[in-house]
Amino acid sequence: MNGRRLKGWYRVHKWTSLICTVFMLLLFVTGLPLIFHEEIDRALGYRVSAPAVEASGQRAEVDAILADARERRPDEVVQFLVREPEHPDLWFVRLGETVEATEASSFLTYDARTGELLNAYPVGQGVMNVILRLHVDMFAGLWGTLFLGAMGLLLVASLVSGAVLYAPYLGRAGFGRVRRQTRRLRWLDAHNLVGMATLVWVLVVGFTGVVNTLSVPIFSQWQSTQLAEMTAGATGDDTVAERSPAEAVTAARRAQPDKALSFMAFPGNGFTGDGHFMAYMQGTTPLTAQLLTPVMIDADTGEVVATRGLPWYVSALLLSQPLHFGDYGGLPLKILWGLLDLLAIGVLVTGLYLWLRRNGGRSVEAGPRPGNGPESRGRTP
């Protein structure tokens, strides 16, 4: 690769890195505890497991659980009933100020065998909520989310340009060489080495992060097109006091016997229509559990009236979310994700240090480099 082209890649790498580094540091630092959010929530008492009881096959009535939730939160409305394959003995009830509210006001956990209330998650409270909001939108709503998505695209450009710049040096010196002539060269080569070692992982996390920032536009597109078509003939009011959600759950399971209920949206919610429940069924393997099939049930008759798979762009979003946080393989994969996150933080810190110290002593560009070519300027941001 000629010197002019290398200089062009160097400019791309320098400016994309400079613009996104501080925000990427924020995302990788806040992302580290979010990888272990379930374990942290359990340690803080925000998340519970079903208590050990003698096996009897007993199951609490879903309608009774929902009635208890409404009694405890009389000023709120049930929005979703949630059930996950990894928690077969728990029911989760999400309530909001209105059925169509985008933010939850309460999240209650019930024992599916006894109907006992086990936990009320502190919605919008605690240190984990602050960390999550910083990671998702920096407390700036949708525009903050989209801004972080743009920073993610700059990260991808920085990684690609850095790999291009490192290739000539790799061909001359071999992978892993750390020059020791000066302190700055040691920092530069350590920055390059760790950056190349984590390149694929950071690309995966960065790209899935960009996809996740588009969740609101993606779901809005689906709701205004395919979901609108699915519910076009739905009629009726959006009250649920006289309807039986338990019948809707049974009907959905009967329609999709090889799948499990992930969650069910209540009539009037943005994930269904007036007069209908919408049960979202998921597979039972780690991969298929991320893919959902909506099943629409008439709230008055309890009969399934429509079933339709999600479009590819919604499925891509659902698959990217657990991959972003390493949720596919349990605690061992989370630990690996955490270690790689720490290495990525190291790359960002060393890159920022090299830029801030660029005028101190001999410049990195002036340091010893193979063949006196521009490749030693490699990944200096």
Q: Which of 39-53, 196-210, 306-320, 360-374 has the lowest mean pLDDT?
A: 360-374
Query: Mind listing the pLDDT tens digit for each residue in 336-361?
Result: 999 999 999 999 999 888 888 876 54
Q: What is the mean pLDDT of the chain?
A: 85
Q: pLDDT tens, 276-316? A: 999 999 988 877 888 999 999 998 888 899 999 999 999 99
Quick one: tokens of 15?
Answer: 């400016």
Is pLDDT above 80 for 96?
yes
Q: How far apart are CA 295 and CA 112, in angstroms?
A: 22
**Residues 188 and 378: beta-carbon distance below 8 Å:** yes
* Residue with the two structure tokens 């030693």: 376
CA distance 285 to 259: 10
Residue 225 is predicted with a pLDDT of: 93
pLDDT reported for residue 358: 76
> How far apart are alpha carbons 189 and 183 in whole angstroms?
10
Q: What is the pLDDT of residue 175?
A: 63
Task: Enumerate the domain spans of the chain.
Answer: 3-38+132-213+328-377, 59-123+215-324
Q: Which residue has 């995966």 as its token pair?
A: 204
Pairwise pLDDT comparison (255 vs 379), residue with the higher score: 255
Checking if the pLDDT of 71 tops 80, the result is: yes
pLDDT average, residue stretch 83-98 = 91
pLDDT at 374: 30
Q: Tell me: pLDDT of 367 over 50.
A: no
pLDDT at residue 224 greater than cutoff 80: yes
Determine the Cα–Cα distance for residues 349 and 336; give it in Å rounded to an integer.
20
What does the pLDDT average to over 314-337?
Answer: 88
In this prediction, residue 139 carries a pLDDT of 94
Residue 2's pLDDT band (boundaries 50, 70, 90)?
low
162-175 pLDDT, tens per residue? 888 887 766 665 66
**98: which residues sit within 8 A by CB, 6+ positions away?**
77
pLDDT in tens, 73-82: 999 999 999 9
The 10 Å Cβ neighbour count of residue 231 is 21
Rounded to the nearest 10 degrees, how much is the dihedral formed by the CA atoms of 29, 30, 31, 36?
A: 110
